[in-house]
């Protein structure tokens, strides 16, 4: 059974760097068909796609235009996981963060992590 | 990239049908057959219900069906059951620059 297990802090201060990890079981971060995504959800912004990483003979990383200056996704093949780093967080980054799998690069997400509530507050 | 537009709420009695619309543009829904729908219960992660406009993942009841016409996609839930009460979100591929856009969400209430 394929599962995604998220980990990372829930409370942060403004200007800090958010780091979240998504551990994959039952699939591989190096899959030649899947793409590994981060998505967040807040009452004010709804569901918002942040970025993805995927392997097609080499590693690719695509980011939402609105996040490009602050976001980094990294695959970790040794531990079969991938991570999100978001720099210079503000209270507007308060949201539930999900990792999710797009199984075929077909623009849909068939597997989601349980979500991590990240609160940014001084 | 603007969010796709959904009605805030929809409702029906048990056994009835409810249809949720999702309106976009020719740059997203109208341009690709990559519309998906998600069900989300309170405090839970979204669950894939429909992908590629009309396809159902294994395990999703055939009471759930999807369609698309022009820039608008729709999700129909037939034979409403109490457990169908949830928030529903549409999503569409929107091109390589900003690939995924989501809908504003619709709360379905089973009366």
**B106 contact A CB<8A:** no
Q: CB A107 to CB B1 under 8 A?
A: no
Average pLDDT over residues A54-68: 94
pLDDT of B1: 66
Average pLDDT over residues B80-97: 94
Q: CB A112 to CB B46 under 8 A?
A: yes
Q: Indicate the helix (H) or strand (E) that contains B9.
A: strand B9-12
Which residues have C-beta within 8 Å of that of residue B36, sequence separation ≥ 6? A107, A108, A109, B48, B50, B51, B52, B90, B91, B92
**A62 contact B CB<8A:** yes
Interface A:B, Cβ pairs < 8 A: 60
Which residues of chain B lie closer than 8 angstroms to A98, CB-CB? Answer: 45-46
The structure tokens listed for B17 are: 């049908």
CA distance A79 to A29: 9
Q: How far is A64 from chain B (nearest CA, A)?
A: 6
CA distance A72 to A68: 8
Average pLDDT over residues B30-57: 97
Q: How far is B32 from chain A (nearest CA, A)?
A: 10
Average pLDDT over residues A28-52: 96
Q: CB A108 to CB B52 under 8 A?
A: yes
Average pLDDT over residues A83-111: 95
Average pLDDT over residues A89-110: 94
pLDDT of B91: 97
- Lowest average pLDDT, out of A81-85, A104-108, B22-26, B42-46, goes to A104-108
pLDDT of B97: 79
pLDDT of B71: 97
Average pLDDT over residues A21-32: 97
pLDDT of A106: 76
pLDDT at B63 over 90: yes
How many other C-beta atoms are found inside a 10 Å radius of the C-beta of residue B13? 9
């Amino acid at each position: 059974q394929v599962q995604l297990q998220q980990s990372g802090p829930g409370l942060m201060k403004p200007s800090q760097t958010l780091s979240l990890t998504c551990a994959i079981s039952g699939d591989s971060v190096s899959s030649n068909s899947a793409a590994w995504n981060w998505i967040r959800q807040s009452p004010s912004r709804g569901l918002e796609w942040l970025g993805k990483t995927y392997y097609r003979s080499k590693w690719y990383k695509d980011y939402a235009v609105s996040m490009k200056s602050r976001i980094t996704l990294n695959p970790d093949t040794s531990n079969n996981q991938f991570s999100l780093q978001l720099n210079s967080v503000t209270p507007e980054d308060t949201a539930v963060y999900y990792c999710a799998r797009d199984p075929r690069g077909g623009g849909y997400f068939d597997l989601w992590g349980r979500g991590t509530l990240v609160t940014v507050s001084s | 990239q603007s969010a796709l537009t959904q009605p805030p709420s929809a409702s029906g009695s048990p056994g009835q049908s409810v249809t949720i619309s999702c309106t976009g543009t020719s740059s997203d829904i109208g341009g690709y057959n990559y519309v998906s729908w998600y069900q989300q219960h309170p405090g839970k992660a979204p669950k894939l219900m429909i992908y590629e406009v009309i396809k159902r993942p294994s395990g999703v009841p055939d009471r759930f069906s999807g369609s698309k016409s022009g820039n608008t996609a729709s999700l129909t839930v037939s034979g409403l059951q109490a457990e169908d009460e949830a928030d529903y979100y549409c999503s569409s591929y929107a091109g390589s620059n900003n690939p995924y856009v989501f809908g504003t969400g619709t709360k379905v209430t089973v009366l």
